[in-house]
Structure 1
Amino acid sequence: MSIAGESTYGRMVQSLGMLAMVSLDPDGRIASWNAGAERIFGYVVDEIVGQPWDALYTPEERSSAQPARALEAARQFGHDEGVGWRLDKQGRRVWVRSLLEALYGDAGELLGYTCVARDISAMHRVNEAMGSNEQQFRLLVQGVRDYAIYMLDPQGHVASWNAGAERIKGYTEAEVLGKHFSHFYADEDASAGRPARNLEIARKQGVYEGEGRRRRKDGSLFWAHVVIDRLTDADGEIVGFAKITRDITEKKLAEEELANARETLFQAQKTETIGQLTGGVAHDFNNLLMAVMGNLELLRKWLPAAPRPHQLLDNAMAGAQRGASLTQRMLSFARRQELHPRPVDVALLVHGMADLLRRSLGPEIRISTSFSLQLPRVLMDPNQLELALLNLAVNGRDAMRQGGRLEIGARGEHVAEGHSTVLPPGEYVCLWVADEGHGMDPDTLRRATEPFFTTKGVGKGTGLGLSMAYGLAEQSGGRLLLQSQPGKGTTVEIWLPVATAGATVPAMVVAGEPDGELQASAALTLLVVDDDDLVLLSTMAMAEDMGYVVHGVKCAEEALAYVDGGGAADVLVTDQAMPGITGARLARLLRQRHPGLPIVLASGYAELPELPVPDMVRLGKPFTKRDLYRAISDALGQVGVADETG
C-alpha cells in the first residue's frame, strides 16, 4: 500500500464512530485510539495512549488476570474473541464484543496487537428483557469456573447458576434455584439485614460492590468479593439482578499476614524506641541518684548524734535506694542492665524462693509448681531471674483479688529451623507463671510490656514488672510471650536458652564487710573523670573522705592533658558515657601510656560489650562510698586486705 493509501486508511480508521479500533504495543500498552474508542469509552487520545490495556477492564477481571490471558490467547492462536464488561472513563460498565489479533513481522517477531470492539450494551439489555437471558447466560458464563455468576429475580431469588457457583459454593443448580440469595450469607450478616441492604443499594444505585464472608454448602465460611448489577428493561423497570462472586480467601489471608507482619514490625520498632528512651532516662537518673546518695552518705558523719536527724537521713537514703531500684527495672526493659549470667537450675531456684513467694503473696494465693524431669540448666543471671519471677508472681496475685492458684513451672523445648518467627532455632527452657485472674483484653495485652503501663491505678504499681521481665529475657537471648483472655487468666512465658556444656560458674570475689570507717591504705592519688558536675563532685568528696588525694576533670581530653603534663595518677576512676572520648577509650589510651595503671570504669548502664582493657573494674551507678572503696581495692588488687580503721 502506498503512503497516500496508508494515510487514507488511517484517516478512515480514526473517523469510525461505531467501532473502537485500538492498537497495542508488544507489552500491551495502548498505542493508538480512534474516534469510536473515544465515543464508547470516553477517553481522548492524550488521556489513554500509553496506558496499559487492562485499564479498560473491570476490577474483578483485572484481579483474575483476564487481560493477560486475552493477550496470551492472541499470541498463541492469532486472535481472541469474546463478550464482556469493560469500564469507561466514568467507571460505568459497557457490554462489548471484542476481537483481539496479534500482529507479527516478516521475521516472526511480535509487533503488537489490534483490537476491534463494539458497544452492544443496548442489545444486551434487550436480550435480557426479552427473556433470552438463559440462553445468553449459558453461552457466555456457564463454563466460567473462577467466578460464581448467577441471576436473581427482582426479589433476590436465584434464577440461574453457573459451574463456577457450584465449584465455589458447593451447591448444584437444582439445590439452589428459587432460594433467596441471603442463604449464602454468614449468620451474623444475615441477622443484621445485610442481604436486603445490599440488594437495595443495587436497586437504587445500579450496582453494589463489596466484600464479606459467605457460607458454602458444607457450612464453612469464605471471604468473597461480590458485585450485584441491577438489570432493567426498555421501560426502566427492574427485571432482576446479575450477581458475580469471587472467592478471595487466599488474598484476604495474605493481606492479614502482611498486616500482622507490619504490626509486628511496628511493635518491634516502638519497643526499641521506648527502650532507647528508657535507657537514656535511667542513665541520667542514675547520675542524679549518684549525687544524692553520695552526699547523703557523707552528710551522715557530720550530723549531730540526735536520733531525729539520722532518722530523716535514713528516710532520704531509703527513697534514693528505691529510685535506684526503679532505674534498674528501667534498664532491664532497655536491655542495658549489668548481668552476671551463669548456669542456673530453674527448678532449684524456684524452690529456693518458696518462702519468699509465700510471704510476698499472702495466704489467699495457692502456689503450685510443675517442672519437667531432667530439666536442663539455663544461662542466666540468677538474681535478676529471681526478681523477675517475684514481679510476675505479684502481678498474678494482684489479678486475683479474691485469691486463687498461681502456678510456676518449666519445661524443655526445641525450636526447629523455620518453626518460629520470634526465636532462633535451638534448645530452650520455657519458664511460665500462670494465674487465674481477670485476664487482659487485646488492647491491654499489646501494651502490657511497655514500661510504666499499668492497670492497677495511681500509686498501686510502677508498670515495670512485666517490662523488666521482658527486657531480661531479651538481653539473655530469649523471649517473653504473653497469653491472656478476659476472665481466663494470664500466662507469662519466659523462653531462655539452655546453657552449653562448656558453660561454667564464674569465680566470685566477695569483699569483706567493713565494720567501721573506710580509709585508703596508702596516700594514693585518684584521677576522677566525669562530665556531670554533680557526680564528679560527689565522687571526689567520697574519695577524699576515705583519705585519697583526688584530682578531678570533666572530660577525657583534660585527663590526657593532665597525665601527659606529669600529673600524678595512681588510680583512674572514669565515667563511660562522655561526649567525645568515652571512658573505655580513655582507659585504652592511658594503659598505653601507663600499662600498670589501675582503672575503675563507672557506668549508668551496661553499654559495654566487653571490658576494653584487662583487669579493669566495672562500677555501676549509683554507687555508695563502700562500692567505690571496693572497686578501687579490686583495681589495686587489694580486695580483702585493704586496711580498714574505725
Structure 2
Amino acid sequence: MVESMADCAIFMLDAKGRVANWNQGAERITGYQARDVIGRHAEYLYAQDVRDDGLPRSCLHIALADGHYEGECWWIRKNGQRFLAQLRIDPVRDEQGQLSGFVELVRDLKEREQAEDALRRSQEQFRLLVQSVTDYAIFMLDRHGRVASWNYGAERIKGYRPSEIIGKHFSVFYTQVDREKGEPHKNLSLATTEGRVESEGWRVRKDGSRFWAHVVIDRILDDHGELIGFAKITRDVTEQREAAAELDRAREALFQSQKTEAIGKLTGGVAHDFNNLLMVIQSCLDMVELKLPHESQLRRLVQNAQSAVQRGAALTQRMLAFARKQELRVAPVDVVSLVANMTDLLRRSLGPLITISTLFPAALNAVKTDANQLELALMNLVVNARDAMREGGNLTIAARNVTIDASHSTRLSPGEYVCLSVTDEGDGMDDETLAKATEPFFTTKGVGKGTGLGLSMVHGLAEQSGGRLVIKSSKGFGTRVEMWLPSVQADAMSLLQDSEIPPSVHPLHPSASLHIVVVDDDPLVLNATGAVLQDLGHRVIEAASAEEALHALENHTGVDMLITDHAMPGMTGAQLVGEVNIRWPALPVVLATGYAEIPTDLSDGATRLTKPYDRAGLALAINKAMEDRRVQV
C-alpha cells in the first residue's frame, strides 16, 4: 500500500537519520531513485540553506522529544529544483522501547497550491459564468428560503439589486394570490422532499409588473446529507408564452376558416338543390293556381303552399349568404336613411319593453352592399337582441366612419369603412357560444324557435361585401355585433348612382310567342320550367346540358331565346352564355342561378334570374332579355 501511493513520499530512516527505504511517491516527488538515496542521511534531500540552518537534525530531535514533528521547509529535487515540502516525522521504537528509526511523510505543497489555485480559478470562472448569464435568474436560497446570492440575470429580470434583495424571503417574487395560497412554502417543501420542483406561473418584479416565469428549484445537501439551501433558476418566458398563444389562436383561426369553408360548400350545395326543388314546387303551384276558381278553398291552400315556398326561398338565401354565394346587387347604401325607414318596423318587432336608440355622426359615408340584404341582416340582429333581452332594455343602433391602414391588426384590407353596430343589454354569450355564433344552424333559442342562420347570414353578407362581422359579448353583460362594410364617399356615391341604368318598370308583353331553348341538368326543374313557358304561350326545346343546348341551336332555325341554369356539370351556364355570345351574338339569353360566383366576362349580355323564381318572375326576365337585345341592336 505504501509503495503504491504516488502523491506522497513515505520512507524510513534509521536511528541515525539515514534513508532505509524509498517508495514510488518519494521517487515521483523528488526525482531520486532508491539507489540514489538509500544509505544517505535525510539532510541530503533538504535545500542547502535549510541544511546550513541545521533544520534536518532539529526535526529528528523534535520528533524524539515530542513524539512527532510537523512543519514546512524547502527541499531540493534531483534536477536541482526547489519545492516547498510538508513534513511529518514520527519515531519508531522496538518492543523494548529502543529507537529503531523514523517514518517520514513528505507532500509537495506546490502541487497542493496548484490544485487549490485551480479550484479557486474554477470557482471564480463558475462565479463569473453564473454572474454573466442575463437570460436566467440564477441565485441561492438558504434553507429557510431567504435569498443568499444574486446574479445579473436575476437583477435584470426581477429588477432588484443584490443589496436590495439578499436576505429577503423569496416569496416576495410571488403574486399576492399565490402567497395567500401558500405556493412559496409548497414549492420549498416539494424541493426538500423530492429534490427538485419545476413549475410555471406569474411572478412579480420590483416595479410591480408581472411576467410569466419558468422556475426550477433544486435541493442542496452538504457532504453529510444535511439540507443547507436551494439553487433557484428562473426564466422570463412571457414572450414565448404569448407566441405560443398566438400560434394556438392562428391554428384555431385556420381550423375555423377551414370548417367554415367546408360548411359553406355544404350549405351552398344544399341551397342549390333546395332551390331546384322549390322551383319545381313553385312552377307547379303557379300552374295549378291558374286553373282554380278565384274564391275556391283549394286556391287558398295553393296560396298557402306558395307562401311556404317563399319562406323556403328566404331560408336558402340565408344559407347562400353564409356560403357567400348569394346574388348581391351591390350599390351605395345610405345607412342613416335605411335605418330611419326601418325604425317603425323594428319597433313593432321589438315590442313595448325594448327601446331603440340610434347614434350616427353628422356625416356618415354610404356603404357598398346590397340594400335589401342589409335590411334583412339588420332585422336579424335586432330580433336576436330582442330574444336576448327577455325583461326588456335598451337597444342601440350606431355607426361610425373608420379608416383602416396597415398599422391596424385586423383582417380588413386598408381603406375606408363604416362600422354599423347593434348593441343590446341582454344575457350575453359565454366563450363557447361566442365561438359558434356564426356557424350555420347553431342556435340557443330552442327547438322550433330559430333556424340558426341569422348571424351566419349577416356574416356571409359582410364577407361577401368585402367587410367583416365582429361579435363582442360576455356572459351577463350583453352583446355588441359590428358589421364592418366598405364605404364610399359622397361624390363617388353620386357617380355610382348616375352610372346605374334603372330597370324597366313596365314589363314588355311580346306580341307573339317565342321559340325558346331551356337548359337545366335537373329533369324536374327542366320539365316544370318548360311547362310554365308553354303555358305562357311559348314553344319550348328542352335540353339537359349545355352540349345539348348548343346542338339544338345549331339544328333549329328561328330560336328566339336561350334560358339556362348556371350550375351544371361539364360546361356551366355562364360558359354556355359566353359561347352563345360568340356564335349567336343577337340571341337574348336568360341566366338563372342562386349563386353570385358567375364570371362576368362570360355572362355579359345575359339577363340574370334569381332562383327560385315564379311564373311572373320568369315572364319579366323574358321581357327584359328581349328589351335589352333590342336596345343593343
- What is the TM-score of this pair, normalised by structure 1? 0.74
Partner of 1:571: 561
* CA deviations over 1:436-472 (Å, ceiling 9, x no partner): 1111112222211111111111111112111111111
Q: Quote the Cα distance in structure 2 between the aligned partners of 1:375 and 1:306.
A: 51
- Tell me, yes or no, if structure 1 residue 523 matches structure 2 residue 513: yes
Residue 496 (structure 2) aligns with: 503
Q: 1:632 to 1:227 in 2, by over 3 A?
A: same
Q: Which residue of 1 aligns with 2:474?
A: 485
Q: Distance in 2 between matches of 1:490 and 1:613?
A: 42
Per-residue CA deviations over 1:477-532 (Å, capped at 9, x if unaligned) read: 11111111222211111111122524225232244489xxxx86313221111000
Alpha-carbon distance in 1 for matches of 2:594, 2:217: 66
- Residue 389 of structure 2 aligns with which residue? 400
**Offset, 1:269:** 2.6
Query: In 1, are the aligned partners of 2:507 and 2:620 still within 8 Å (CA)?
Result: no
User: Do the aligned partners of 2:588 and 2:629 also contact (CA within 8 Å) in 1?
Assistant: no
Structure 1 partner of 2:269: 280
- Aligned to 1:596, which of 586, 603, 612? 586
Counterparts of 2:481 and 2:304 in 1: how far apart (Å)? 35
Q: Distance in 2 between matches of 1:503 and 1:420?
A: 31
What is the correspondence of 1:67-106 to structure 2 with a 5 Å cutoff? Answer: none
Q: Which residue of the partner structure matches residue 213 of structure 1?
A: 202
Change in Cα spacing, 1:612 to 1:215, as seen in structure 2 (3 Å) is same
Moved more, 371-380 or 159-168: 159-168
Is the Cα contact below 8 Å between 1:520 and 1:547 reproduced in 2? no
Tell me whether 1:243 sits opposite 2:232 in the alignment. Answer: yes
1:535 is the counterpart of 2:529: no
Aligned to 2:355: 366
Q: 1:444 to 1:425 in 2, by over 3 A?
A: same
Equivalent of residue 611 in structure 2, options 621, 627, 636:
621
Q: 2:404 touches 2:412 (CA, 8 Å); kept in 1? A: yes
Asked if the contact 1:520/1:548 (under 8 Å) is kept, the reply is no
The answer on whether the counterparts of 1:574 and 1:602 sit within 8 Å (CA) in structure 2 is: yes
Give 1:181's aligned amino acid. Answer: F
Matches within 5 A, 1:222-237: 222-237=211-226
Q: For 1:323-402, what aligned pairs fall within 5 Å after superposition? A: 323-402=312-391
Which deviations, in whole Å up to 9, do the C-alpha atoms of 1:577-603 show, x marking residues without a partner? 111111111122233332211111111
2:623 to 622, 633, 637: 633
Shift of 1:536: 0.6
Quote how far apart the aligned CAs of 1:631 are.
0.7
Q: What CA distance in whole angstroms lies between the structure 1 residues aligned with 2:288 and 2:180? A: 76
Counterpart-to-counterpart distance in 1, 2:628 and 2:164? 94
Question: What code does the residue aligned with 1:295 have?
Answer: C
Helix, strand or coil at the partner of 2:602: coil
* Residue equivalent to 2:538: 548
User: What is the CA–CA distance in structure 2 between the aligned matches of 1:588 and 1:136, rounded to whole Å?
Assistant: 81
Query: Secondary structure, in 3 states, of the residue corresponding to 1:574?
Result: strand
Alignment of 1:57-456 (within 5 A): 138=127, 141-303=130-292, 307-456=296-445
Cα pair 1:375 1:412 within 8 Å, conserved? yes
Report the secondary structure of 1:414's partner residue.
strand
| 2:453 corresponding residue in structure 1 | 464
In structure 2, give the amino acid aligned to 1:615: G
**Quick check: 566-575 or 194-203, which moved more?**
194-203
Letter in 2 for 1:508: P
Deviation at 1:407, TM superposition (A): 0.7
Bigger radius of gyration among the two: 2
Residue aligned with 2:211, SS: strand
**Stretch deviating more after TM superposition (161-170 or 324-333):** 161-170
| Residue-by-residue CA offset, 1:367-417 (whole Å, 9 max, x unaligned) | 011111111222221111111111111111111111111111111111122
Match of 2:574 among 549, 562, 584: 584
Deviation at 1:242, TM superposition (A): 0.4
SS of residue matched to 1:431? strand
1:605 Cα deviation from its structure 2 partner? 1.6
8 Å CA contact retained: 1:520, 1:546: no
Please tell me whether the aligned partners of residues 196 and 218 of structure 2 are also in contact (alpha carbons under 8 angstroms): yes
Contact 1:392–1:466, Cα closer than 8 Å, also in 2: yes
Question: Retained in 1: the 8 A contact 2:356–2:395?
Answer: yes
Q: Give, in angstroms, the shift of residue 626 of structure 1.
A: 0.7
* Secondary structure of 1:469 counterpart: helix
| 8 A contact 1:418–1:425 mirrored in 2 | no
Q: 1:391 to 1:241 in 2, by over 3 A?
A: same
Any idea what the Cα deviations from partners look like across 1:537-581, whole Å, max 9, x if unmatched?
Answer: 110111111111111111111111222223552211111111111
Q: 1:590 to 1:234 in 2, by over 3 A?
A: same
The answer to whether the Cα contact below 8 Å between 1:633 and 1:639 also exists between their aligned partners in 2 is: no
Q: Counterparts of 1:193 and 1:542 in 2: how far apart (Å)?
A: 82
Q: Structure 2: which amino acid aligns with 1:289? A: L
**Structure 1 alignment gaps of length 5 or more:** 1-122, 128-132, 641-646
Q: What amino acid does structure 2 have at the position aligned with 1:331?
A: L
Contact 2:327 2:594 in 1 (8 A): no
Amino acid at match of 1:412: N
Q: Structure 1 CA distance, aligned partners of 2:572 and 2:536?
A: 27
In the TM superposition, what is the alpha-carbon distance from 1:623 to its structure 2 partner? 0.7
Judged with a 3 Å threshold, the aligned counterparts in structure 2 of structure 1 residues 513 and 391 are, in CA distance, closer, same or farther, namely: farther
Identity level (%): 56
1:182 is displaced (CA, Å) by 2.8
Residue type at the aligned position of 1:418: S
Read off the aligned partner of 1:551 and give its amino acid letter.
Answer: I
Alpha carbons of 1:567 and 1:639: their partners in 2 closer, same or farther (altered >3 Å)? closer
Structure 1 CA distance, aligned partners of 2:174 and 2:247? Answer: 26
1:136 to partner: Cα distance: 9.2
Aligned length, in residue pairs = 508
**Mapped partners of 1:139, 1:605: distance in 2:** 72
For 1:374 and 1:306, how far apart are their aligned partners in 2? Answer: 53
Instruction: Find the aligned partners of 1:314 and 1:336 in 2 and give their Cα distance.
Output: 29
Distance 1:360 1:310, change over 3 A: same
TM-score by length of 2: 0.75
Report how far residue 275 of structure 1 moved: 1.8
Q: Is the 8 A contact 2:517 2:552 kept in 1?
A: no
Match of 2:61 in 1: none
| Residue-by-residue CA offset, 1:164-210 (whole Å, 9 max, x unaligned) | 22222123334434443333122333344433443344333332223
CA RMSD of aligned residues (A): 2.7
- Provide the secondary structure at the position in 2 that maps to 1:504: helix
